[in-house]
Amino acid sequence: MKTSIALILAALAAAIALPASAQFAKPEDAVKYRKASLTVMGAHFSRVGAMASGRVPFDAKVAAENADLVATLAKLPWAAFPEGTDKGDTRAKAEIWKDADKFKEAADRLQAESVKLQAAAKSGNLDAIKTAFGATGASCKACHDTFRKD
């Protein structure tokens, strides 16, 4: 009994610790995945931005739905940057893997800001959304400036 529990725990630990690269059969699959997730996140972020900037009328429900999606989508791209995926159809800079801690910090910053944006949108307060949108956009830009080729 004890042994089988230990085996199950070991299997679970192995599954959780599975390298991110194992999620993708080929490097180009990881590149496609991260670009797709960033594109979809950008689309929903822009929908919040259109309201934050007054380009489209403010609709609290639409803002909240889109901010929810951004907060969820912001979790996705990072597992799709395994070692060896700096080649091919990508603008990813080598610094992503050289300064992996700094890259993780940038990814964490986006996730933290997008959670704040989600909370602001949920509150329905347009001024709070504007502030949080600005901070979230700044986190997108900071990462692009450092880790993405122009």
If the CB atoms of residues 63 and 140 are measured against ligand ASC, the closer one turns out to be 140
State yes or no: residue 137 binds ligand ASC (CB under 6 A): yes
Question: Residue 55 carries which side chain, given as an amino acid letter?
Answer: R
Q: If DSSP codes are grouped into helix, strand and coil, which group holds residue 119?
A: helix
Q: How far is the CB of 99 from ligand ASC (least distance, A)?
A: 20
Contact between 67 and ligand ASC per CB under 6 A: no
Alpha helices in 75-99 (DSSP H): 95-98
Q: Which tokens sit at 21?
A: 């690269």
Q: Which amino acid, one-letter code, is at 32?
A: K
Nearer to ligand ASC, 46 or 111 (CB): 46
Give the CA angle between residues 82, 27, 70 to the nearest 5°: 60
| Residue 42 near ligand ASC by CB under 6 A | yes
Interacting residue ranges for ligand ASC, rule: CB under 6 A: 42, 45-46, 49, 137, 140-141
